[in-house]
Structure 1
C-alpha cells in the first residue's frame, strides 16, 4: 500500500489507492470537536470524517488510520475512535475488512456532498439544491441552435478535430476581450471544454508537482480539486477586500502560479478594483509568478456594479492567464470554456490538452460563438433575474435567520454567509432530512476550516429561495436544540 506523501498543503489529501496516516487525517479534520457543541465526542468525530468523505476531500477507497494510532494523534480514547468508525460503517461511508483496516466508500445511490462534479437534484423531486451555483438554461439558447444548424453543413466537410478550437469561436472570444478593453488576437485564444478543464490545463502545463501555488481562501472548490490531483504545494492565504494578504504571501514564497478570482468572487462575490489589479500584476512580475485568473463570473455584474477592465489589461508582459466559460453566464450544460494568454503559453496548453481530449464538440462551439456575438439581450435578462433573486435571498435571510451576517455582492451568484458559530458541516448533514442540498463551508478551503461559513447561491426562483430559507431556519433550530449526527433522520419535512 502506498502511503500519501507529506510535505505539501495537499500532500495529506490522497488519490486512490492510498492510505491516510493519523497526522494527515488530524490535519484535515481541523478543530473537529467544535463542529457541534453538543453530543458525544465520537459522534462529532464521525461527523467530521463523514464530511471529508462526502465533500471529496478524502476519496473513496482510502484506508483510514488504525484506531489506536488515530486516538493517540487526536488525544482521545481508542473507544472514541472505535465508536466513530462504527457509526460510519452503519451509515455506509466506511467498510472494515478483517485484518485489513477500515476503508472509505460512498453510500449506495449517493454522490459526494458539495463535490464539484456532483449532479444536481432533479427539478420536481421536492428537493431544493443550494449546493450547485449555476443557473438554468433559457429558451433563447435553443433558438440560437437554429442558426447553428444552418452553419453546420459547412463544418461537416472537415474532420472536426480543432485542438485550438474553432476559428469562429476564437474570433468571437478575442473580439469580446477587445471590447472589454483588452486587445486580443485569435492566436491568444484556446478553446476548452469548460473552465475546469482550462484550469487543469494551465496547472498541468505550467507547473510541476510540489511547485508552490498560491490561492486565496475561500475559493472555488474545483480549483482545489485540480491542485490536489496535481499534488501542488498549496499556499493558502485568507481572502481580503484588496488582496493585500495575497501580495504579501507572493513576495514571501515566490509561487510558480497564483490562482484567483477577481470578478465577483466565488463564493464571496468580491470585485477587485483597478488599483488592486494593477498592484497584483506588478507583484507577479517582481516575484516571477504567473497569475491564473478565473473570469467565469465576469459577465454577471449588476446595474450598481462598477466596470473594471480585465486584470490582464494592467500589463505584466504575458504573466496573466485568463480563463473564461459559458457555464455561469449562459448555461452549465454548454461545456465550453477558453484560455487567453500569450502565444507561447497557448502552444503549451494545446500540447498538454492531448492528454485530456482532442477538441471540444463542434456544435457546442458554434452555439457558444452565436451566443457571444448575439446574446447581449440574454445576458441582460440573466443579470436582472439574478439581481431579483439576490434581493429575495437577502430579504429571506433577514426575516428568518437575522443573526446570520454577509456582504451583499454587486454581482455573481451567491452569498457567503457567516453563521456566527462553527456549525456548517452539521447544518449540511441535517439539511438532508429537510430535502435541502448544501455545500458546507470547509468545501471552499483547506484542512477543515471555514466551519463558520456557508455558501448560499441565489440561482433558484424567488419562491424556491424563500422556501429553502424557511427550511434552513428549521434546520438551525434542530441544531441549536442539540441535534447530532447520531439522531435519526426522517424522510418527511418537519
Structure 2
C-alpha cells in the first residue's frame, strides 16, 4: 500500500458530488472519476466507512453501498484488516498518462472534469423526455441558460440582460463567430503577444492584419506600446485576456484597464475580452467587474471551470451585435445542443461550490510544479501565478523549441514559447500547464531537468549565450 487519503481530503476532492440518486451511486461515481483521473492514485487506502460518512454528513450505510459498487466495478478492493484500496485503471483514449508509456500531454491546459459532473449529466439525462420533443439544438441559446449567464455577469457588477447573451459551442467557437463578424480582409486586429494561439488563428482566418501588444509576467501590458498601437494602427478589434492572461497568467491593474479602454475608445476599436480563465483565481478573489465600455464583447465558457468536453460557451455583447451573430451563425453551425445547455444551466447554479474545488485542484498542481522546478531547474524563472491554468516559465537560454523536441522523444508533449507569439519570438519561454495531477507534473519536470543540460550542450554557442534575448 503506497498511500492513504483522509476522509477530509477525499471529501474536498469530491466537490459537489451529491447530484443524483441513489446517493450511494453518486458517491461511487465521484470516487471513480477521481481514480480514472489519477487524482486518487492506485493502491491508495480509502477512509474507513464511518470516517467518510462523518466527513460527508451521510450514513455509514450509504458509504458501505458506494464501496460495494466500487468493488463490483473493479475500482477498489477490500482487504481483511486493511480496508478498501484503489486499483489501477485502464486509460480510455488518453495520452495524458505518464506512467503507461504513451507519454504525458502538457500541450492542453485543461483541468480534469469537475467530480460532480457525471452526476449532473445523469440527472439531466433522467429528464430527457422533456428535451427530446424539441428540435435538439438552439441557434440563440435557451432562455434558461442565457438568463443564468446574464445573472452571473450581473453578480460580477456587470449588469446584463438575457438579450445580450448568445450561447455557443464552446469558447473557441465564440471567438470564431465574433472575429468573423467584426473583421474583414485588410482590417487590423490588435492581440497580446504572447497570446492564445487559436485566437490568433481565428483572426488570421478573416484576412485581417495582426499587430502585437507585449505583455510580460513581470511588467504586465506595455501601455506606451498600447497607446501607440491604438493611435497609429486604429485596429478594428483588440482581443485581450484581462484576467489570468494565457499564457503569462497576468491580471490587469486598474491603470492598465483604464488606459486600454480610453485608447480603444479614441480609436473606435471593439474590445473582445476572453474571460474563459477569469474565474480561475487560486490565491483569493479577483475583481472581474471592470467596465471596458458599452461596445466591449465578452467571451466565456465552461471548458476550464467544469470540463473541456462540455462544449458550452457564450458571447456577451450589445443586442444589435448578438442579432448579427445569430444571422451569420448558420454558415458555421445550426446551434448548441439542448442537452448540453440543460446541463450547463444546472452547473452555473452550482458555481459557488465548483469554483473553490477548482481552485484547490489548480493550487495543488501549481504548487507541485513550482516546487519541483525550483528543486530541479533553479536557473529557470518561475512565476508565482495567482490563477489560471499554466506557468509562463523563463528559461536561461532561448532553446524552447529544442527542449520541446527532446521532451517529445522522451514522451512529454509540450508547446514551445513561439507557439504563443504572433510573429516569432519567445524562444526563451515554455508554457507549463499545472492542470495535470501533481505526480505527473513532477515526473514531467524530472524529464525536462534531465534533458536540459544535453539540450544546452548541443546548442550553438550563440544560442546558449543569448540569455538577454529571452527577456
Where does residue 289 of structure 2 map in the other structure? 310
Aligned partner of residue 130 in structure 2, secondary structure: helix
1:148 matched to 2:118? The reply is no
- For 1:238 and 1:275, how far apart are their aligned partners in 2? 16
- For 1:310 and 1:178, how far apart are their aligned partners in 2? 9
- For 1:248 and 1:435, how far apart are their aligned partners in 2? 44
Distance 1:136 1:152, change over 3 A: same
Measure how far apart 1:338 and its partner are: 0.3
Where does residue 342 of structure 1 map in the other structure? 318
**Residue range with higher mean Cα deviation, 228-237 or 336-345:** 228-237
- For 1:303 and 1:451, how far apart are their aligned partners in 2? 29
1:205 matched to 2:185? The reply is no
Where does residue 38 of structure 1 map in the other structure? none
Say which of 267, 273, 292 aligns to 1:293: 273
Aligned partner of residue 339 in structure 1, secondary structure: strand
Task: Encode CA deviations 1:39-74: one digit per residue, 9 max, x unaligned.
Answer: xxxxxxxxxxxxxxxxxxxxxxxxxxxxxxxxxxxx
Where does residue 413 of structure 2 map in the other structure? 437
Say which of 206, 211, 216 aligns to 1:230: 206
Measure how far apart 1:282 and its partner are: 2.1
- For 1:150 and 1:184, how far apart are their aligned partners in 2? 32
Say which of 91, 96, 112 aligns to 1:136: 112
Is the contact made by 1:273 and 1:308 (CA closer than 8 Å) also made in structure 2?
no
Is the contact made by 2:131 and 2:339 (CA closer than 8 Å) also made in structure 1?
no
What is the 5 A alignment of 1:373-412? 373-412=349-388
Unmatched 5+ stretches in structure 1: 1-118, 485-494
Q: Of the two structures, which has the highest relative contact order with CA contacts closer than 8 Å and spacing of 6 or more?
A: 1
- For 2:178 and 2:424, how far apart are their aligned partners in 1? 27
1:121 matched to 2:95? The reply is yes
- For 1:206 and 1:433, how far apart are their aligned partners in 2? 42
- For 2:307 and 2:288, how far apart are their aligned partners in 1? 24
Is the contact made by 2:170 and 2:302 (CA closer than 8 Å) also made in structure 1?
yes
| TM-score normalized with structure 2 length | 0.74
Is the contact made by 1:210 and 1:231 (CA closer than 8 Å) also made in structure 2?
yes
Aligned partner of residue 402 in structure 1, secondary structure: coil
Measure how far apart 1:247 and its partner are: 3.2
What is the 5 A alignment of 1:191-270? 191-240=167-216, 241-244=220-223, 245-270=225-250
- For 2:457 and 2:256, how far apart are their aligned partners in 1? 45
1:274 matched to 2:250? The reply is no
Measure how far apart 1:450 and its partner are: 1.1
1:169 matched to 2:169? The reply is no
**Residue range with higher mean Cα deviation, 247-256 or 455-464:** 247-256
Where does residue 54 of structure 1 map in the other structure? none
- For 1:455 and 1:337, how far apart are their aligned partners in 2? 24
Measure how far apart 1:138 and its partner are: 3.0
Unmatched 5+ stretches in structure 2: 1-92, 461-471
Measure how far apart 1:230 and its partner are: 1.7
Task: Encode CA deviations 1:315-336: one digit per residue, 9 max, x unaligned.
Answer: 523x200000111111101111
Measure how far apart 1:449 and its partner are: 1.3
